[in-house]
């Protein structure tokens, strides 16, 4: 356990007093298609795609297509609260400590020397995008991703949430065994004043080995409207007590088993609400949280692999115009897989086998030692190559797919330092073979915590972006299913009837170019013709 000493700011109601950071414009766009006011950035954007038709002779005709959209971005950066379901878990306690440390600019000693707080691993806070090319020198100008649009700074986020365990967040941080004692000592007092709200606990949905943690639960062991209403009350109280403009809720609790999709129970919005009212046993805790958030128009993101968003939940979100996103944080092994498989297949190399083995010792691993919960994770990890394989009809015939297996074992000794071993076996030129073996040690919660921040920042940003076609009279928001979050998620949720994109480069490109469109800039083509044509 860390020594419980602390220096720094005081706290009130369990949340740090802190002066919010004021965003500043790093650049402006000089274009007749972009207008700036005190309240908004308005842009006119020509979206260029290629429409393809297949003729009776089997030949394709490709036709360039242009659609003009108007985007409007609210420039006022709100005060935002992040409520975590499973706040007392490894991810929740780690991201809380990380935000507090960054807020106060903390440094701490380790056996390898001093370390300073940072947001490494966050695409929004730790990466850049190309703005353009400097006129006189031809130098490529890159700007921090966070400065492309007026975004919330993670240091300004107020944190709260629920947990089935009554431990305060400092004690939970000790239990997680993720952070250095010298860092924990500096945030301990502040985090000790943070206590999770009682959560809902339906034993059938998580592993039986989690029962000893469940000492902070609402009455009732199956879905009910009382649970929905309590969650809604908790969110309203949190918003009021902390003078917040918005709340974002994110599930970082245990992986649940998959819920069966049953006609008349969870297939429509009306049936799902009725199933909750009647206490149907096939409604999961995460779905109950999602319904509460949808009814209050609070964005809800699922960071675990289960099918939280049953068809009825998606239809309910569409009905209320509420944002949802998921599923399952894409942090270590799967992020490597989605990048490497994309690279190999686009290089014309035919993958025939992918074997992924993991062992880990944190509570996530303990929960996944139950077969039903493991099956949820197996599905989210196994589908990440599907779109890349389907896109290459040269290498793969219809319905052909690489062999793909995923194994996860619980090994308490390794704690949060997950070991991931992957073997990629491929066919190459003239009957040859290539084998790539990767041993990846992933500090699980230190990879997942920046993803939590990214998901919250992007989801909040999407609440301030509206669009319309050139001929439409009124602006509207994006579709309720936030597929723009796909870069951070293993099993991206997409609007019904739309393709799932798992290729990492495409996901990053979509995120980047939607942000660029909001300020009237075309995608960077990387053709660099200005350097090639003389």
CB atoms within 10 A of CB 215: 12
DSSP letter (8 states) at residue 431: G
CA separation for the pair 389, 401 (Å, rounded): 7
- What element of type H or E holds 329? none
CA separation for the pair 278, 152 (Å, rounded): 40
Q: Is 383 exposed, middle or buried (0-12, 13-18, 19+ CB in 10 A)?
A: middle
482 to each of 301, 392, 429, 445, how far by Cα in Å? Answer: 9, 26, 40, 24
Task: Please check whether residue 300 is in contact with residue 249, taking contact to mean a CB–CB distance below 8 angstroms.
Answer: yes
CA separation for the pair 136, 140 (Å, rounded): 11
Closest CA to 151 of 75, 99, 245: 75
Task: Please check whether residue 259 is in contact with residue 287, taking contact to mean a CB–CB distance below 8 angstroms.
Answer: yes
Active site residues: 328, 377, 418, 490
CA separation for the pair 107, 17 (Å, rounded): 20
Task: Please check whether residue 73 is in contact with residue 514, taking contact to mean a CB–CB distance below 8 angstroms.
Answer: no
Tell me the three state secondary structure of residue 249: strand
CA separation for the pair 244, 248 (Å, rounded): 11
Q: Is 534 exposed, middle or buried (0-12, 13-18, 19+ CB in 10 A)?
A: exposed
Q: Does the CA dihedral 115-116-121-127 come out positive or negative?
A: negative
CA separation for the pair 170, 181 (Å, rounded): 12
Show the 3-state SS of 211-243: HHHCCCECCCCCCCHHHHHHHHHHHHHHHHHCC
Tokens of 407: 């194994």
Tokens of 266: 């969870």
Tell me the three state secondary structure of residue 252: coil
Strand runs labelled E in 210-363: 246-251, 300-302, 324-326, 350-360
Task: Please check whether residue 68 is in contact with residue 470, taking contact to mean a CB–CB distance below 8 angstroms.
Answer: yes
């Amino acid at each position: 356990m860390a020594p419980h000493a602390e220096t720094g700011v005081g706290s009130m109601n369990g949340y740090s007093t802190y002066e919010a950071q004021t965003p500043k414009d790093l650049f402006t766009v000089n274009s007749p298609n972009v207008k700036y006011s005190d309240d908004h950035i308005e842009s006119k954007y020509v979206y260029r795609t290629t429409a393809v038709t297949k003729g009776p002779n089997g030949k394709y005709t490709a036709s360039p297509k242009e659609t003009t959209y108007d985007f409007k971005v609210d420039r006022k950066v709100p005060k935002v609260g992040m409520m975590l379901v499973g706040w007392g878990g490894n991810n929740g306690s780690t991201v809380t400590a990380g935000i507090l440390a960054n807020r106060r600019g903390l440094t701490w000693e380790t056996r390898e020397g001093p370390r300073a707080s940072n947001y490494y691993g966050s695409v929004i806070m730790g990466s850049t995008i190309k703005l353009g090319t400097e006129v006189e020198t031809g130098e490529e100008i890159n700007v921090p991703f966070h400065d492309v649009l007026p975004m919330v700074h993670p240091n300004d986020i107020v944190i709260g949430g629920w947990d089935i365990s009554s431990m305060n967040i400092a004690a939970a941080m000790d239990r997680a065994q993720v952070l250095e004692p010298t860092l924990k000592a500096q945030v301990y007092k502040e985090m000790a004043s943070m206590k999770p709200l009682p959560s809902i606990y339906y034993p059938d949905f998580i592993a039986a080995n989690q029962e000893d943690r469940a000492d902070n639960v609402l009455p009732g062991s199956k879905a009910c409207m009382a649970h929905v209403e309590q969650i809604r009350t908790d969110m309203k109280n949190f918003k009021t007590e902390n003078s917040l403009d918005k709340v974002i809720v994110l599930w970082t609790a245990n992986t649940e088993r998959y819920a069966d999709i049953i006609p008349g129970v969870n297939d429509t919005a009306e049936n799902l609400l009725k199933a909750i009212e009647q206490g149907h046993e096939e409604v999961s805790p995460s779905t109950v949280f999602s319904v509460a958030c949808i009814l209050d128009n609070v964005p809800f993101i699922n960071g675990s692999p289960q099918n939280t968003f049953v068809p009825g939940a998606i239809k309910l979100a569409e009905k209320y115009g509420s944002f949802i996103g998921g599923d399952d944080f894409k942090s270590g092994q799967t992020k490597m897989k989605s990048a490497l498989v994309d690279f190999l297949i686009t290089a014309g190399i035919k993958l025939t086998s992918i074997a992924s083995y993991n062992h880990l010792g944190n509570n996530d691993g303990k929960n996944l030692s139950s077969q039903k919960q493991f099956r949820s994770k197996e599905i989210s990890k196994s589908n990440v190559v599907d779109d890349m394989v389907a896109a290459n009809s040269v290498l793969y015939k219809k319905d052909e797919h690489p062999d793909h297996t995923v194994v996860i074992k619980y090994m308490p000794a390794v704690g949060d330092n997950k070991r991931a071993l992957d073997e990629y076996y491929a066919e190459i030129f003239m009957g040859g073979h290539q084998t790539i073996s990767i041993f990846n040690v992933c500090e699980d919660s230190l990879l997942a915590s920046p993803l939590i921040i990214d998901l919250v920042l992007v989801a909040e940003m999407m609440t301030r972006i509206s669009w319309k076609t050139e001929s439409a009279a009124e602006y509207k928001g994006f579709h309720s299913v936030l597929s723009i979050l796909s870069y951070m998620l293993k099993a991206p949720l997409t609007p019904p009837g739309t393709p799932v994109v798992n290729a990492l480069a495409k996901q990053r490109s979509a995120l980047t170019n939607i942000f660029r469109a909001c300020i009237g800039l075309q995608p960077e083509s990387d053709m660099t013709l200005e350097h090639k044509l003389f």
